[in-house]
Amino acid sequence: MTRPLPSAVVSDLSEIVGRRHVITDPDRLLVYESDGLTAYRIPPRAVVLPASTEEISAVVEVLHRKGVAVIPRGAGTGLSGGALSTPGGVIVGMARMNRILTIDPENRIARAQPGVINAHLTEATSPYGLYYPPDPSSQSACTLGGNVAENSGGPHCLKYGVTARYVTGLTVVLAGGRVMQLGGVGRDPYTTLDLVGLFVGSEGCFGIATEIEIRLLPITEGVRTLLGIFESVESAGRAVTKIIASGLMPAAVEIVDGPTIQAVEASVFAAGYPLEAGAALVIEFDGTEAGLDLDADRAEGYCLEEGAIEVQRATDPEHRTKLWRARKKAFGAMGRIAPDLLVQDATVPRTKLPEVLAGIDDIGSRYGLKIANVFHAGDGNLHPNILFDRQNQKELELVERASKEIMQLCVDAGGTITGEHGVGLDKREYMTLVYGPAELQAMAAAKQVFDPDSLFNPGKVLPEVEGAELGVAMKASTVS
Ligand SMILES: Cc1cc2nc3c(=O)[nH]c(=O)nc-3n(C[C@H](O)[C@H](O)[C@H](O)COP(=O)(O)OP(=O)(O)OC[C@H]3O[C@@H](n4cnc5c(N)ncnc54)[C@H](O)[C@@H]3O)c2cc1C
């Protein structure tokens, strides 16, 4: 049972944001007890919903003065437990920080509050012929603040790069409520010490991003979307290697495996993927019209060389949306197979995809677990989705063991433990698979610069390592 926040603290917070924006009712707190990593649940002591940088600063000041840990939260779609409360912590939610502040088409820049939903930014900028490229599959729900914290990717990040490439400035609230401006218009963050770059990907462990300045790109002139159908995920993986090695530069290359296809086709997101397929490959090219058909023809040829049963092309924008929806909503469709889903995330060199996928299949068989794969194949970013029932404690243990083996398999293949979902709570113990004490110490030191008392999202990202003296980075909340 989480102990309630002292009434004096509730009253101080209420003065800043209004009583109805301080949630303390245990029933209402249940909504915040987990994020997309549903295997872990910890209700926070309270949730505070500020509406401006000033309010966030004042809220953090009150909580840190009392030694209360602060857990920033966007939409809670994170898959590594990053927005999960730590024992005794208070969640500061961004739900009311949801305004796009400026769109500057001449400089191709927008400034937004962190609670703006990713897809809403492109909706708002498209009348100016501009869009925001990083497109997590959760983009209809996840927030820009969450994207900044996780340095999120998405299908089109193969060609366009991840969040870090687009964030040019940040207003942040740091320990004790200190407000700091990092980068921003006219201050190139890349020519001096890149504090924007350091903050992006810090998983809510450095502070809270309260305003985000973002670079936009012109909407591309043309697009071609292909769907390759394969007998096996291994042959689809080989086609990916061939396409990329050929020098083609697709905007996106995504794989959906057989079990996922069956789940999607049985759901409202059905897009006509053949049920008997072992894998489907969604390939997209964009850019100026000239040359797009040629690129699509070449990619189709490589698919056929690697044994594609058929290759379709989207015939109109509606068909394209349908093909993409099946891919982007695949995680949701898996709810048809099992009540719980652990979406794993790791990267491997593209050339290792076929052997790693076979290895994952083997791990699933040995543990008797269903694993469905849907992932950003073009950049070797795997998402093995382990299906389970969290009520079954034994199965939960098997899921943990299988996850660890999958991580080890990816690291042994020359990859790493996360491509885009972050480390959070879920991957902390895997950090030592890729980093030694010296690297972990450097990360802990960076955290200490921003958050000396470890009161932002403690207990996340950095593992407990004997002898590494990660010290404050790991300290849990000390609130009474
Ligand atoms: C169906 C589905 C598909 C997904 N597909 C993708 C994908 O393609 N690519 C991808 O990268 N991810 C994907 N994700 C993961 C997730 O959506 C992203 O990590 C996303 O960026 C999280 O945003 P959020 O607003 O939900 O953040 P939350 O889950 O609320 O928080 C995530 C982390 O960010 C921190 N945080 C939140 N807001 C702030 C802030 N303002 N300042 C500082 N820290 C903050 C939190 O403390 C936490 O550590 C997917 C998730 C789901 C459920």
Asked if residue 94 has its Cβ within 6 Å of ligand 1, the reply is: yes
| Confidence band of 478 (pLDDT split at 50, 70, 90) | very low
Asked if residue 138 has its Cβ within 6 Å of ligand 1, the reply is: yes
Strand ranges of the sheet holding 179-183, from the earlier edge strand across to the other edge: 100-104, 109-112, 208-215, 167-173, 179-183
Asked if residue 381 has its Cβ within 6 Å of ligand 1, the reply is: no
Rounded to the nearest whole angstrom, what is the distance from the C-alpha of residue 78 to the centroid of ligand 1? 4
At the second CATH level, the architecture of 222-332 is 2-Layer Sandwich (3.30)
Asked if residue 458 has its Cβ within 6 Å of ligand 1, the reply is: no
Asked if residue 136 has its Cβ within 6 Å of ligand 1, the reply is: yes
Atom of ligand 1 nearest to the CA of 141: 26
Note the pLDDT of residue 190: 63
* Interval 157-180: pLDDT, tens: 999 999 999 999 999 999 999 999
Rounded to the nearest whole angstrom, what is the distance from the C-alpha of residue 200 to the centroid of ligand 1? 12
- Cβ-Cβ contacts under 8 Å for 296 (sequence gap 6 or more): 224, 226, 283, 285, 313
Query: In whole angstroms, what is the distance from residue 152 CA to residue 161 CA?
Result: 10
Note the pLDDT of residue 67: 96
**Tokens 């979307």 label which residue?**
225
- CB count, 10 Å around CB of 162? 23
Asked if residue 81 has its Cβ within 6 Å of ligand 1, the reply is: no
Look at residues 218, 216, 212, 219 and name the one whose alpha carbon lies nearest to residue 100.
Answer: 212
Rounded to the nearest whole angstrom, what is the distance from the C-alpha of residue 214 to the centroid of ligand 1? 17
Asked if residue 151 has its Cβ within 6 Å of ligand 1, the reply is: no
Asked if residue 328 has its Cβ within 6 Å of ligand 1, the reply is: no
Q: Is the pLDDT of residue 473 over 50?
A: no
Mean pLDDT for all residues in the chain: 92
Asked if residue 241 has its Cβ within 6 Å of ligand 1, the reply is: no
| Confidence band of 333 (pLDDT split at 50, 70, 90) | confident
Q: Is the pLDDT of residue 62 over 90?
A: yes
- What is residue 2's DSSP assignment? P
CATH pick for 7-93 out of 3.40.50.300, 3.40.470.10, 3.30.43.10, 1.10.10.10: 3.30.43.10
**Tokens 């056929």 label which residue?**
304
**Tokens 């543990």 label which residue?**
367
Q: How far is CA 240 from CA 30, 237, 262, 314, 411, in A?
A: 43, 5, 22, 19, 20
Residue to mutate, 47, 56, 77, ligand 1, most ligand atoms under 8 Å from C-beta: 77
Q: How far is CA 229 from CA 158, 237, 360, in A?
A: 21, 12, 21
Burial of 8 (0-12, 13-18, 19+ CB in 10 A): exposed
Look at residues 241, 230, 355 and name the one whose alpha carbon lies nearest to residue 281.
Answer: 230
Note the pLDDT of residue 330: 86
**Tokens 């890729």 label which residue?**
434
Rounded to the nearest whole angstrom, what is the distance from the C-alpha of residue 334 to the centroid of ligand 1? 19
Note the pLDDT of residue 466: 60
- Cβ-Cβ contacts under 8 Å for 460 (sequence gap 6 or more): 81, 82, 86, 203, 204, 205, 423, 424, 425, 428
Asked if residue 461 has its Cβ within 6 Å of ligand 1, the reply is: no
Atom of ligand 1 nearest to the CA of 144: 25
| Confidence band of 334 (pLDDT split at 50, 70, 90) | confident
Domain 100-218 has CATH 3.30.465.10: yes
Query: In whole angstroms, what is the distance from residue 358 CA to residue 364 CA?
Result: 10
* Interval 267-318: pLDDT, tens: 888 888 899 999 999 999 999 999 999 999 999 999 999 999 999 999 999 9
Rounded to the nearest whole angstrom, what is the distance from the C-alpha of residue 95 to the centroid of ligand 1? 13
| Confidence band of 189 (pLDDT split at 50, 70, 90) | low
**Nearest protein Cα to ligand 1, atom 34:** 146
Note the pLDDT of residue 322: 86
Phi then psi for residue 309, to 5 deg, are -75, -40
State the fold for domain 338-412. Answer: Alpha-Beta Plaits (3.30.70)
Q: Please say whether the beta carbons of 179 and 111 come within 8 A.
A: no
* Interval 454-465: pLDDT, tens: 999 999 999 976
Residue to mutate, 90, 150, 203, ligand 1, most ligand atoms under 8 Å from C-beta: 150
Rounded to the nearest whole angstrom, what is the distance from the C-alpha of residue 152 to the centroid of ligand 1? 7
**Nearest protein Cα to ligand 1, atom 13:** 136
